């Protein structure tokens, strides 16, 4: 069946779902009900999940709805991911492409987005799920000869099945990948319907095993693809799937142009989401919040009790109300004990501090105390090791996808080898104090063995300038020439005296 799931997909799906829900935020978390916030035993005993004959919720369900509403889910995961994406992409990447695909710098996706925007999406997915898929595709592949390739992204939860067999010198090569392309489609003028569809991208030898009827026209060892749309509960038999071998100007690919991009590597096996621990902690805080606020709520809901009274309950309570109690009877309020409230609050505060600290440790690139540039870089590197891995892996994955596009467009292997895709790995936003530069110049004036180029390199490393030493010196010379006043003209010589011997000689 086309919707068969890979065993590793089924194993990783709960973690991906958890991280997606945590990133989506409070509305999504609360919509999942008991998945993230189990009801209490008392709620279950009084009808949780059930409705009365009149359509109203049972007392247990009504109590749970209020219990869930009072809880607060803190957006630790979204804040951390968005902050890390901002840190990683605060500087533009360095990308140099072969001339044949240079247009992809500004037109890299089906929505005509630039590569920089695509890369931000890749980084976000690496942080959220630890995984994203990149498929190089062309629009209407079988019909357009001069098509320009683009890169389509696939969420971890949409890459449902795959296999990478050993082919070239024992190395793994993707033989097929199944992608879930289900979603709303417009039918007619304004109507939208949900369609279940899957894409099977494979090497042509692979589809021989499913007996595709049009395999003879594809050739051997080439990339082929087909979309299979589900009709109700049944799918069109794979043998009837209409596979095509996409080509650009007659060029077909010898590989499936799909790249797995994880948080630490590019292999088909999924990585754990790098922020899964933070997501689980955020959910724990959510449940603790619900219990704590439930306890606070119950503190204000004391029950009025009359001991020995046989009359109906009084119509009112509070100031001005009269309550008659028979001789020997008693009346009082009975409430929930608050003995454990302080412990609940302390445990909740501890978890909140821990979650905040986890986020700060990964995002903080500043120090409250003075430290040298090297010390700061070492501290930042130790805190942002995960970010460095994500940048390096994302750059290589994007480069691999662009390599598929370049080969499809007819670029030579030497052009592909010369391709440059590098991301920012300097996550600190520190700048040296101007006094530090003054101290260096004073040291040089005192005889310190430092050249002007060495000092310039230091200033560039500390982001005081972006110019090269040669550009900086040329700029200084130009400024100096503008500052120097023009040389004064010599005064005219006084006329010679009639008795001056020089006049006689002339």
Q: Show which of 286, 319, 335 is a domain's final residue.
A: 335
Residue 490: inside a domain, yes or no? no
Q: What is the CA radius of gyration of the chain?
A: 36
Percentage helix, strand, coil for the chain under 3-state DSSP, each rounded to 5: 45, 15, 40
pLDDT tens digits along 260-306: 999 999 999 999 999 999 999 999 999 998 888 887 777 766 667 77
Residue 37: inside a domain, yes or no? no
CA atoms within 13 A on the CB side of 346: 5
pLDDT tens digits along 183-231: 998 887 788 888 888 999 998 887 766 655 555 555 667 898 888 887 6
**Separation between Cα atoms, residue 62 and residue 48, nearest integer Å:** 8
Residue 49: inside a domain, yes or no? no
pLDDT tens digits along 47-56: 999 999 999 9
pLDDT of 111 > 60? The answer is yes
Q: Where are the beta strands (DSSP E) in 21-158?
A: 94-96, 131-137, 150-155
Contact 268, 260 (CB under 8 A): yes
Per-residue pLDDT at 280: 93
Q: Show which of 290, 316, 335 is a domain's final residue.
A: 335
Residue 459: inside a domain, yes or no? yes
73: which residues sit within 8 A by CB, 6+ positions away? 25, 26, 29, 30, 282, 286, 289
| Residue span of the structural domain in which 324 resides | 302-335
- 159 φ, ψ to 5°? -95, 90
Residue 312: inside a domain, yes or no? yes
Reduced to 3 states, what is the DSSP secondary structure of residue 90?
coil
Contact 368, 430 (CB under 8 A): no
Tell me the pTM.
0.75
Split at pLDDT 50, 70, 90, the class of 378 is: very low
Residue 74: inside a domain, yes or no? no
Contact 188, 215 (CB under 8 A): no
469: which residues sit within 8 A by CB, 6+ positions away? 452, 453, 456, 457
Residue 295: inside a domain, yes or no? no
Per-residue pLDDT at 368: 44
pLDDT tens digits along 59-95: 999 999 999 999 999 999 999 999 889 989 988 899 9
Token pair 């033989």 in the structure block, residue? 175
- 410 φ, ψ to 5°? 90, 15
Split at pLDDT 50, 70, 90, the class of 347 is: confident
Number of domains in the chain: 2
**Separation between Cα atoms, residue 350 and residue 342, nearest integer Å:** 12
Residue 441: inside a domain, yes or no? yes
């Amino acid at each position: 069946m086309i919707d068969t799931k890979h065993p590793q997909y089924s194993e990783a799906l709960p973690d991906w779902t958890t991280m997606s829900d945590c990133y989506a935020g409070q509305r999504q978390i609360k919509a999942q009900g008991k998945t993230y916030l189990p009801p209490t035993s008392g709620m279950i005993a009084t009808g949780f999940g059930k409705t009365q004959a009149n359509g109203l919720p049972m007392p247990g369900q009504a109590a749970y709805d209020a219990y869930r509403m009072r809880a607060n889910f803190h957006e630790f995961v979204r804040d951390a991911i968005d902050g890390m994406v901002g840190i990683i992409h605060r500087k533009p990447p360095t990308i140099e492409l072969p001339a044949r695909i240079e247009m992809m710098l500004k037109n890299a996706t089906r929505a005509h987005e630039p590569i920089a925007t695509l890369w931000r999406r890749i980084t976000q997915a690496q942080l959220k799920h630890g995984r994203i898929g990149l498929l190089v595709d062309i629009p209407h592949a079988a019909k357009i000869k001069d098509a320009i390739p683009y890169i389509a992204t696939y969420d971890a939860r949409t890459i449902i099945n795959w296999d990478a067999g050993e082919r070239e010198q024992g190395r793994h090569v993707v033989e097929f990948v199944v992608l879930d392309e289900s979603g709303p489609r417009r039918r007619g003028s304004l109507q939208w319907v949900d369609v279940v569809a899957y894409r099977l991208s494979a090497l042509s030898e692979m589809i021989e095993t499913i007996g595709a009827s049009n395999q003879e026209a594809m050739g051997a060892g080439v990339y082929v693809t087909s979309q299979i749309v589900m009709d109700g509960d049944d799918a069109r038999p794979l043998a009837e799937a209409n596979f095509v071998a996409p080509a650009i100007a007659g060029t077909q690919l010898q590989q499936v142009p799909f790249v797995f991009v994880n948080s630490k590597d590019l292999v088909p096996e999924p990585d754990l989401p790098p922020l899964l621990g933070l997501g689980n902690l955020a959910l724990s805080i959510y449940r603790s919040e619900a219990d704590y606020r439930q306890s606070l709520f119950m503190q204000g809901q004391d029950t009025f009790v009359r001991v020995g009274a046989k009359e109906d309950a009084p119509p009112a309570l509070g100031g001005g109300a009269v309550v008659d109690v028979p001789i020997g009877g008693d009346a009082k309020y009975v409430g929930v004990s608050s003995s454990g409230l302080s412990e609940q609050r302390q445990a909740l505060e501890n978890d909140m501090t821990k979650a905040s600290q986890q986020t700060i440790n990964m995002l903080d690139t500043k120090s409250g105390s003075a430290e040298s540039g090297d010390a700061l870089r070492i501290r930042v590197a130790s805190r942002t090791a995960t970010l460095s891995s994500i940048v390096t892996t994302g750059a290589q994955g994007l480069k691999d996808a662009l390599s598929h596009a370049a080969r499809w467009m007819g670029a030579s292997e030497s052009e592909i080898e010369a391709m440059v895709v590098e991301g920012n790995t300097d996550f600190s936003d520190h700048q040296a104090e101007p006094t530090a530069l003054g101290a260096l110049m004073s040291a040089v004036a005192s005889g310190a063995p430092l050249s002007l180029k060495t000092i310039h390199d230091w200033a560039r490393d500390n982001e005081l300038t972006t110019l090269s030493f040669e550009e900086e010196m040329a700029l200084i010379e130009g400024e100096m020439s503008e500052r120097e006043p023009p040389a004064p003209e010599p005064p005219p010589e006084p006329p010679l005296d009639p008795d001056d011997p020089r006049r006689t000689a002339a």
